[in-house]
Amino acid sequence: MFLVGLTGGIASGKSTVVRCLVEDLNCPIIDADVIAREVVLPGTRGWRKIKDNFGSEILYSNGELNREKLGQIIFSDEKKRKVLNSITHPEIYKAILWKVVKYFLQGHRFVVLDLPLLFETKKILPYTTFTVVVSCNEEQQLQRLMARNSYTKEAAEIRIKAQMSLAEKCKLCTHIIDNSGTIESTEKQVKLLYQEFSMCKAFWKLRIIVAFCATSLLGLGLFLCHYLMT
Ligand SMILES: CC(C)(COP(=O)(O)OP(=O)(O)OC[C@H]1O[C@@H](n2cnc3c(N)ncnc32)[C@H](O)[C@@H]1O)[C@@H](O)C(=O)NCCC(=O)NCCS
Ligand SMILES: Nc1ncnc2c1ncn2[C@@H]1O[C@H](COP(=O)(O)OP(=O)(O)OP(=O)(O)O)[C@@H](O)[C@H]1O
């Protein structure tokens, strides 16, 4: 099975790419942002640790995490961001591992993992065969983030600065999806890339069949040698 790491910057268009992969191509996806929400649901270990470290003022009266408030704290304070990461990331990686195993057991041989911090944390990087960065220019990223979340320019900028820049990520990846044009143009690139990965999948199947045949022939050869010599 091979893993494709999909990443990018905040609001660079990862979810837009994922939507196309799921809805148009029926591709198996693991979304780290969804998992990140699941591991801090009220009553979970992650939730308890956040409450212990950041205090009850970080919760709504019904016990749910006030994500906006926590976001304001951690994006403007690197130390506190590290504390939150040290609580959530081990839980997130465990859940990712289980999902990979589940997809493998279901017979999938190629899974896309949408992980915003793929290059920042590097934990999953060694297990990826390909890494795809969804990119756009800095001004578009800023404008799209401000528009989507109704953030001020300052709030959007501190969130962008909390991550490695898109330009740096583009240097580290194996493939780039340029999301600076229309959504249709992005979808075209996603479909082409999906075809490329699917061909890779076929190539791996072929390698496994060839390896199996070669091992069987070798075994048969050894058996015949042994049979003829005794
Ligand atoms: C701080 C939180 C509560 C803010 O929640 P909010 O609903 O406003 O944002 P959401 O979770 O949708 O994240 C939006 C984007 O912010 C960026 N982001 C989130 N957490 C981080 C982080 N710790 N460091 C840098 N960027 C981050 C990612 O690009 C993500 O796609 C939340 O992001 C969180 O719990 N973060 C810690 C877990 C984490 O690292 N998630 C990233 C995926 S592994
Ligand atoms: N090509 C595009 N043209 C115009 N708007 C776009 C384009 N791609 C994405 N957007 C818009 O930009 C915003 C950010 O896109 P999206 O939510 O896909 O980013 P993301 O990388 O998943 O963000 P996050 O890191 O917060 O999860 C959304 O409002 C989306 O509709």
**225/145: higher pLDDT:** 145
- Counting from 1 in the atom list of ligand 2, the atom nearest the Cα of 181 is 1
Q: Which residues contact 140 (CB under 8 A, 6 or more apart)?
A: 180
Q: What are phi and psi of 4, to 5 degrees?
A: -105, 120
**36/205: higher pLDDT:** 36
Nearest-angstrom CA–CA distance, 150 and 142: 11
In this prediction, residue 204 carries a pLDDT of 64
Q: Is the CB of 124 under 6 A from ligand 1?
A: no
Helical H segments across 106-182, by residue range: 118-121, 138-149, 153-161, 166-172
Centroid of chain to Cα 86: 18
Tens digit of pLDDT for each residue in 146-172?
A: 999 999 999 999 999 999 999 999 999
Residue 25 DSSP label: T
**8/230: higher pLDDT:** 8
Tens digit of pLDDT for each residue in 77-126?
A: 999 999 999 999 999 999 999 999 999 999 887 899 999 999 999 999 99
In this prediction, residue 202 carries a pLDDT of 64
**pTM as predicted:** 0.90
Residue 33's identity, in one-letter code, is D
Residue 209, pLDDT > 80, answer no
Helix or strand run (H / E) with residue 214: helix 183-229
Q: Is the CB of 15 under 6 A from ligand 1?
A: no
Output the average pLDDT for the chain: 94
Q: Parse the chain into domains and list their residue ranges.
A: 2-229
In this prediction, residue 203 carries a pLDDT of 65
Q: Is there a contact between 112 and 29 (Cβ–Cβ < 8 Å)?
A: yes
The model's confidence at residue 173, banded by pLDDT at 50, 70 and 90, is very high
Q: Is the CB of 179 under 6 A from ligand 2?
A: yes
Nearest-angstrom CA–CA distance, 95 and 80: 23
Pairing of strands 110-114, 128-135: unpaired
Q: In the CATH hierarchy, which fold is given to the domain comprising 2-229?
A: Rossmann fold (3.40.50)
Taking CA atoms only, the protein residue closest to ligand 2 atom 28 is 148
In this prediction, residue 103 carries a pLDDT of 94
Nearest-angstrom CA–CA distance, 132 and 137: 16
% of the chain surpassing 90 pLDDT: 83
Residue 136's identity, in one-letter code, is C
Q: How far is the CA of 22 from the centre of ligand 2 (A)?
A: 16
**149/215: higher pLDDT:** 149
% of the chain surpassing 70 pLDDT: 97
DSSP 146-164: HHHHT--HHHHHHHHHTS-
In this prediction, residue 210 carries a pLDDT of 79
- Counting from 1 in the atom list of ligand 1, the atom nearest the Cα of 121 is 44
ipTM: 0.96
Sign of the Cα pseudo-torsion (170, 20, 156, 56, in order): negative
Per DSSP, the three-state class of 8 is strand
